[in-house]
Amino acid sequence: MNNDYRTGGRRKMPIGIQNFEEMGAGEWVYVDKTALVYELAHDAKHNFLSRPRRFGKSLLISTLAAYFRADKELFKGMAVEKLETEWIEYPVFIFDFVIATYEENISQLESFLNLKLSELEKVWGKAKEEDALGLRFAGLVKRAAEKTGKNVVILIDEYDRALTQTMDNPELNQQVKATLKGFFSVLKGSDKNIRFSLLTGVTKFSKISVFSDLNQLCDISLSEKYTTICGITQEELETNFTPEIETLARKTGRSRVEMIEKLKDEYNGYYFFYDGPSVYNPYSTVSVLSKERLGDYWYETGTPTFLVEELLQNKFDILDFEKGITTSAEGINDYRREAGNPIPLLFQTGYLTIKNYNSQFDLYTLGFPNGEVKRGFLNSLLQSYSVQAGSGYTYNYAQFGTDLLEGNLENFFNRLTSFFAALPYDLHSNLHNERDYEYAFYVLMTLLGQLTFTEVHGNIGRADAIIKLDERVYIFEFKVTSGGTVEEALAQIEEKGYAKPFETDPNDKREIIKIGVVFDTEKRNIKEWRKGGE
């Protein structure tokens, strides 16, 4: 491992490295999580861990495999080297569901399980009477334990991949559940021959064998003890990546302190225990430090199409995400698609995280974890609305920001009129009041990476939207044709004192621009707009 940057040269950053053997023996920068690995290995016997995709689950599985195989040479210089006094080798079974696809038919899942079992049977043998997948699995566990005199370690990575890939095919999804039920039941039936087991995944699906029949499974997903077992803490970032942070700061014209704050805003903010430390998305963090360029790296690896569809079908108001969504503990743990509530899935997949916790009523407040996730999710949402989503259209979105930066309101509102005209009819049919238009406007402006506030509270009222830029502050008040005029909108900005926080700050020299906007609900577009003072 090359964690010593004083030797000079550019260090190797482990983008996409999921094999601990490669990580430990190579020159990759590695954040040492082995103290937590040791504790987990000596804690509960059967465990489940949910984390978003690209969050280090596969590397954790690989690290546990190396530890239980007693590959102690790989752990030289790490925390576990001092903790472990007796290295014991156990037979280790790994099932990495992530390597296959399962969308077409149940034979894909059966073929994957058959392949994995066949590989193990070459080592541990097979009895003639073992024909079904579950029987073969149980037979392998028993023989491995008998031959070695050591109980078996079972590591299952991304157990839910087949379930998530078949969500849009109810019949196939039920077949997948039935197959997994029979297979995973071995964990309970073979308990006496098992030393340790861990299942990882993105989602905790209810009503399948793992979480109903396998009642001894310990869910550590929201455990205080293991909240940082995946991801990078603030201390780990600043300790392990000093040269990369300094290089990125120089390239972006920031100080080290400013660079750390920018990284925190963009990639930190995930909480897996309500009162615990937050963690950075490891994939995005390592990517930006390696490529020396800020970007939405995690979000570029996948689009949450089915999540957006569920939000639209269940008519969730995206503005609630900004203010915070309140839900029970069950509301973040138990996902059932038939219940029509995508909030647990949004939390488990990493698009929402814990912002606050009310211990008196056991209620969580959820919101976007950081800038990368917020922009990416709203971009997917907006693309699903626009009939012109695709090549060339993102460029037009960016032009909104250019217009505001330059103070060109004429161009801005011309584009905004075209934007509303391009929205599909089924979205238009829901735009009837100020809040509906404010919602669409909010989604659009947040995409541009601007600091946008909606319904900003003041002493005697609230502004519909405020956009703060380096040289200008825009204050918007929205009306609909049945609810007021541009004159009334501008008058409300003055009467309610929406601009006072900026006007009374002697250090704020930015131009304050007040804008009244009226939407025509019949024509489903902007009827009129006016800048204050004109």
Q: How many Å apart are CA 85 and CA 73, to the nearest integer?
A: 14
| pLDDT value at residue 457 | 45
pLDDT tens profile 55-69:
999 999 999 999 999
pLDDT tens profile 175-196:
999 999 889 989 989 999 999 9
Q: How many Å apart are CA 388 and CA 400, to the nearest integer?
A: 16
Closest of 29, 100, 87, 34 to residue 62, by C-alpha:
34
- Residue 473, SS3 per DSSP: strand
68 close to 129: Cβ distance less than 8 angstroms: no
| pLDDT value at residue 385 | 57
All residue ranges of the chain with pLDDT < 70 are 1-9, 24-26, 206-215, 302-306, 312-319, 334-340, 382-398, 422-462, 483, 534
3 state SS for 382-419: HHHHCCCCCCCHHHHHHHHHHHHHHCCHHHHHHHHHHH
| pLDDT value at residue 382 | 67
Helix axes of 256-267 and 282-291: crossing angle, nearest 10 degrees:
140
pLDDT tens profile 349-359:
898 999 999 98
Q: How many Å apart are CA 106 and CA 173, to the nearest integer?
A: 9
464 close to 396: Cβ distance less than 8 angstroms: no
Phi and psi at 290, nearest 5°, equal: -75, -45
Report how far apart, in Å, the C-alpha atoms of 377 and of each of 301, 355, 372, 386 are: 13, 18, 9, 15
Cross-strand pairs, 516: 477, 530
Give how far the C-alpha of residue 240 lies from the chain's centroid of Cα atoms, to the nearest Å.
23
Strands 472-480 and 511-520, by their bridges, are parallel
353 close to 347: Cβ distance less than 8 angstroms: yes
The count of other CB atoms within 10 Å of the CB of residue 134 is 18
Which tokens go with 299?
């979000």
**What percent of the chain is predicted at pLDDT more than 90?**
51
| pLDDT value at residue 242 | 95
Q: How many Å apart are CA 172 and CA 108, to the nearest integer?
A: 11
Query: pTM of the predicted model, to two decimals?
Result: 0.82
- Residue 331, SS3 per DSSP: helix
| pLDDT value at residue 415 | 83
386 close to 423: Cβ distance less than 8 angstroms: yes
| pLDDT value at residue 49 | 95
| pLDDT value at residue 455 | 43
Sign of CA dihedral 167, 172, 174, 175: negative
Closest of 132, 152, 162, 120 to residue 45, by C-alpha:
152
47 close to 201: Cβ distance less than 8 angstroms: no
CB-count exposure of residue 502 (10 Å: 0-12, 13-18, 19+): middle
- Residue 118, SS3 per DSSP: helix
